[in-house]
Amino acid sequence: MCDTHALLNAVGIPKMQVPPAEPFVLPALQIDRDLDSLKIKAHLENIQAFGGSAFVVDKLSVDPHKLTLAMTVTVPSLYVVTDYDVNGRLLLVPLRGKGVFKGNFSE
């Protein structure tokens, strides 16, 4: 990793209001799904994701005429922490809970 990349991850770009890449912070997220097999309402708060800045670009294509860019990336590992409040149903099983979710996701 180069020093510029490390600095961007650490402090972001304050003059352009770009936050640090680590952790990725999302203040809140609402989920409301009503499908045949899954009905769920969830409220997530204080979401923090670590590891996203270590992404690997698998495919990149640029079309300068259309001013488009398409990219496929892999995130080798991601650690997520969030407060949650969930109410729903999976098939016939009720889903209810409130607390702190911590998850490690990797290839």
Instruction: Give pLDDT tens digits for 51-68.
Output: 988 888 999 999 999 999
Per-residue confidence (pLDDT) for residue 1, from 0 to 100: 47
pLDDT digits (tens, 9 = 90+) for 25-35: 999 999 999 99
Q: Highest-confidence range of 2-6, 55-59, 88-92, by mean pLDDT?
A: 88-92
- Helix (H) or strand (E) holding 78, with range, is strand 77-90
Element (H, E) at 33: strand 24-34
Q: How far is CA 41 from CA 18, 30, 69, 74, in A?
A: 31, 8, 34, 29
